[in-house]
A and B are shown apart, each in its own frame.
Chain A
Amino acid sequence: MNFLAPLYLVLAVAAGIPLLLHLMRRNVGARVDFPAARYLQRAEQEHSRSLRLRNLMLMLLRVLLVVVLALAAARPFLPGLGVGHGPTAVAIVLDNSLSTTALADGAPVFERLRAATGALLRAATPADRLWLVSADGRVRGGTREQLLAELGRITPSEGAGDLALALRRAAAATAAANLPVRSIAVATDGQRTAWATAVRVPGRISVLVPPGEPPANRAVVDAATDPPRWTPRGTITARIEASDSVAWRILIGDRTLARGSGGMGIPVAVRAAPPERGWQAGRVELERDDFRADDVQHFALWIGAPPAVSVDAGAGTFVTTAANALAADGRIALSPGGGARIASADVLMSLPALVLPPTDPVRLGAANRSLARLGIPWRYGVLRRGPGIVRGTRLDGVGVTERYLLRREPGAESDTLATAAGEPWIVAGDGYVLMGSRLDPAATTLPLRAAFVPWLAETLALRLGGPAGESGAPVRTRPGAPVRLAGGVDAMESAAGARRAVSGTATHAPDERGVWFMLRRGRRVGALVVNAPAEESALARWSAPVLAARLGGRDRRAAGSGDEWVRSAFTAGSSRPALVPLLVTALLLLAAEAAVVRSTRSSRSIA
Chain B
Amino acid sequence: MEAARASRADLLDPGELAALGHIEIVARWIVDGFLSGLHRSPRKGFSVEFADFRPYQPGDDLRYVDWKIAARSDRWVVKQYEEETNLRATLVLDVSRSMDWKGASRAAGLTKRAYASQLAAAVALLLLRQRDAVGLIRFDDAVRSSIPPRARTTQWRRLSGAIAEPAGGRASDLATALAGTARLVTRSGMVILLSDLLVDVDAALPALRGLRAAGHDVTVFHIMDPAERRFVPGGEAQYTDPESGLAVPAGADVRTAYDATVDRVIDEWRDALGAMGIAYEVVLTDQPYAVALRRAFDARVRRS
Q: Footprint of B on A, CB under 8 Å?
A: 21, 25-44, 46-47, 50-51, 54-55, 58, 600-601, 603-604, 607
Which residues between 111 and 133 of chain B lie within 8 Å of chain A, taking CB atoms? Answer: none
Closest to B172 in A: A35
For residue B249, which residues in chain A have a CB less than 8 angstroms away from its CB?
25-28
In Å, the complex CA distance between A51 and B253 comes to: 7
For residue A40, which residues in chain B have a CB less than 8 angstroms away from its CB?
231, 239, 248, 250, 254, 258, 261
State whether A43 touches B236 (Cβ < 8 A). Answer: no
User: Taking the nearest CB of chain A, how far is it from the CB of B91, in angstroms?
Assistant: 21
- Across the A-B interface, the 7 shortest Cβ-Cβ residue pairs: A35-B98, A47-B257, A43-B261, A34-B239, A37-B241, A30-B237, A43-B257
A-B contact pairs, 17 of them (CB 8 A): A25-B236, A27-B249, A30-B237, A31-B247, A32-B234, A34-B240, A35-B97, A36-B241, A37-B239, A38-B241, A38-B246, A39-B228, A40-B254, A41-B246, A42-B265, A51-B253, A600-B257
Closest to A599 in B: B256
In Å, the complex CA distance between A41 and B198 comes to: 13
For residue B254, which residues in chain A have a CB less than 8 angstroms away from its CB?
40, 43-44, 47, 51
In Å, the complex CA distance between A534 and B102 comes to: 101
User: Does B251 belong to the interface (CB within 8 Å)?
Assistant: yes
In Å, the complex CA distance between A39 and B251 comes to: 14
In Å, the complex CA distance between A51 and B198 comes to: 25
Write out, one digit per residue, whether chain B residues 247-283 have a CB within 8 A of any chain A CB (1) or not (0).
1111101101111111111000000000000000000
Closest to B267 in A: A607
Residue in A28, A35, A41, A51 whose beta carbon sits within 8 Å of that of B196 in the complex:
A35
- Additional A-B contact list (5), CB under 8 Å, known A33-B242, A42-B261: A25-B236, A28-B236, A35-B242, A41-B248, A55-B253
For residue B85, which residues in chain A have a CB less than 8 angstroms away from its CB?
none
For residue B228, which residues in chain A have a CB less than 8 angstroms away from its CB?
34-36, 39
In Å, the complex CA distance between A27 and B251 comes to: 12
User: Taking the nearest CB of chain B, how far is it from the CB of A548, in angstroms?
Assistant: 62
State whether B250 touches A36 (Cβ < 8 A). Answer: no
Closest to A34 in B: B239
User: Taking the nearest CB of chain B, how far is it from the CB of A51, in angstroms?
Assistant: 6
State whether A44 touches B241 (Cβ < 8 A). Answer: no
State whether B238 touches A33 (Cβ < 8 A). Answer: no
Which residues between 62 and 105 of chain B lie within 8 Å of chain A, taking CB atoms? Answer: 97-99, 101, 104
Given contacts A37-B247, A40-B250, A55-B253, contact A607 B242 (CB under 8 A): no
Given contacts A35-B228, A37-B247, contact A28 B261 (CB under 8 A): no
In Å, the complex CA distance between A25 and B244 comes to: 23
User: Does B165 belong to the interface (CB within 8 Å)?
Assistant: no
For residue B253, which residues in chain A have a CB less than 8 angstroms away from its CB?
51, 54-55, 58
In Å, the complex CA distance between A21 and B236 comes to: 9
State whether A46 touches B236 (Cβ < 8 A). Answer: no
User: Taking the nearest CB of chain A, how far is it from the CB of B157, in angstroms?
Assistant: 32
State whether B248 touches A44 (Cβ < 8 A). Answer: yes
For residue B259, which residues in chain A have a CB less than 8 angstroms away from its CB?
604, 607
State whether B257 touches A34 (Cβ < 8 A). Answer: no
In Å, the complex CA distance between A50 and B250 comes to: 15
Closest to A29 in B: B238
User: Taking the nearest CB of chain B, how far is it from the CB of A336, in angstroms?
Assistant: 121
For residue B236, which residues in chain A have a CB less than 8 angstroms away from its CB?
21, 25, 28, 30
User: Taking the nearest CB of chain A, how far is it from the CB of B95, in angstroms?
Assistant: 13
Given contacts A35-B101, A35-B243, A51-B254, contact A30 B261 (CB under 8 A): no
User: Does B235 belong to the interface (CB within 8 Å)?
Assistant: yes
In Å, the complex CA distance between A509 and B235 comes to: 81
State whether B258 touches A37 (Cβ < 8 A). Answer: no
For residue A36, which residues in chain B have a CB less than 8 angstroms away from its CB?
196, 198, 228, 241, 262
In Å, the complex CA distance between A46 and B20 comes to: 44
Closest to A33 in B: B242
Given contacts A25-B251, A51-B254, contact A604 B243 (CB under 8 A): no
State whether A46 touches B261 (Cβ < 8 A). Answer: yes
Give how many B residues have a beta carbon under 8 Å from the other chain's beta carbons: 38
In Å, the complex CA distance between A31 and B239 comes to: 6
Closest to A25 in B: B236
Given contacts A37-B248, A50-B257, contact A28 B241 (CB under 8 A): no
State whether B260 touches A604 (Cβ < 8 A). Answer: yes
For residue B241, which residues in chain A have a CB less than 8 angstroms away from its CB?
34-38
In Å, the complex CA distance between A47 and B242 comes to: 24
Q: Footprint of A on B, CB under 8 Å?
A: 97-99, 101, 104, 196, 198, 228, 231, 234-244, 246-251, 253-254, 256-265
For residue A604, which residues in chain B have a CB less than 8 angstroms away from its CB?
256, 259-260
For residue B97, which residues in chain A have a CB less than 8 angstroms away from its CB?
35
State whether A601 touches B196 (Cβ < 8 A). Answer: no
In Å, the complex CA distance between A25 and B249 comes to: 8
Residue in B234, B235, B244, B262 whose beta carbon sits within 8 Å of that of A39 in the complex:
B262
Closest to B96 in A: A35
Given contacts A38-B198, A42-B261, contact A603 B256 (CB under 8 A): yes
Closest to B99 in A: A35
User: Taking the nearest CB of chain A, how far is it from the CB of B142, in angstroms?
Assistant: 19
User: Taking the nearest CB of chain B, how far is it from the CB of A61, in angstroms?
Assistant: 13
For residue A54, which residues in chain B have a CB less than 8 angstroms away from its CB?
253
Most chain B CB within 10 A, of A21, A31, A32, is at A32
State whether A44 touches B251 (Cβ < 8 A). Answer: no
Most chain B CB within 10 A, of A43, A55, A600, is at A43
For residue A28, which residues in chain B have a CB less than 8 angstroms away from its CB?
236-238, 249, 251
State whether A43 touches B237 (Cβ < 8 A). Answer: no
In Å, the complex CA distance between A363 and B9 comes to: 143
In Å, the complex CA distance between A123 and B249 comes to: 57
In Å, the complex CA distance between A28 and B246 comes to: 15
Residue in B198, B262, B263 whose beta carbon sits within 8 Å of that of A35 in the complex:
B198
For residue A25, which residues in chain B have a CB less than 8 angstroms away from its CB?
236, 249, 251
For residue B263, which residues in chain A have a CB less than 8 angstroms away from its CB?
607
State whether A607 touches B260 (Cβ < 8 A). Answer: yes
In Å, the complex CA distance between A603 and B234 comes to: 22
Residue in B198, B238, B256 whose beta carbon sits within 8 Å of that of A32 in the complex:
B238
User: Taking the nearest CB of chain A, how far is it from the CB of B140, in angstroms?
Assistant: 13
User: Taking the nearest CB of chain A, how far is it from the CB of B153, in angstroms?
Assistant: 38
In Å, the complex CA distance between A49 and B265 comes to: 20
In Å, the complex CA distance between A607 and B264 comes to: 9
For residue A41, which residues in chain B have a CB less than 8 angstroms away from its CB?
246, 248
In Å, the complex CA distance between A602 and B22 comes to: 44
State whether B239 touches A32 (Cβ < 8 A). Answer: yes
User: Taking the nearest CB of chain B, how far is it from the CB of A606, in angstroms?
Assistant: 9
In Å, the complex CA distance between A46 and B256 comes to: 12
State whether A39 touches B237 (Cβ < 8 A). Answer: no
For residue A601, which residues in chain B have a CB less than 8 angstroms away from its CB?
256
In Å, the complex CA distance between A329 and B16 comes to: 134
In Å, the complex CA distance between A27 and B250 comes to: 10
For residue A26, which residues in chain B have a CB less than 8 angstroms away from its CB?
249
State whether B260 touches A47 (Cβ < 8 A). Answer: yes
User: Taking the nearest CB of chain B, how far is it from the CB of A542, in angstroms?
Assistant: 71
In Å, the complex CA distance between A578 and B180 comes to: 76
Given contacts A37-B247, A38-B198, contact A43 B258 (CB under 8 A): yes
State whether A51 touches B243 (Cβ < 8 A). Answer: no
Residue in B99, B235, B240 whose beta carbon sits within 8 Å of that of A37 in the complex:
B240
In Å, the complex CA distance between A426 and B231 comes to: 109
In Å, the complex CA distance between A42 and B264 comes to: 11
For residue B264, which residues in chain A have a CB less than 8 angstroms away from its CB?
607
User: Taking the nearest CB of chain A, how far is it from the CB of B101, in angstroms?
Assistant: 5
For residue A58, which residues in chain B have a CB less than 8 angstroms away from its CB?
253
For residue A603, which residues in chain B have a CB less than 8 angstroms away from its CB?
256, 260
Closest to B224 in A: A36
In Å, the complex CA distance between A37 and B240 comes to: 6
User: Taking the nearest CB of chain B, how far is it from the CB of A36, in angstroms?
Assistant: 4
In Å, the complex CA distance between A364 and B158 comes to: 152
In Å, the complex CA distance between A333 and B261 comes to: 130
Given contacts A43-B254, A600-B256, A601-B256, contact A33 B261 (CB under 8 A): no
Closest to A44 in B: B254
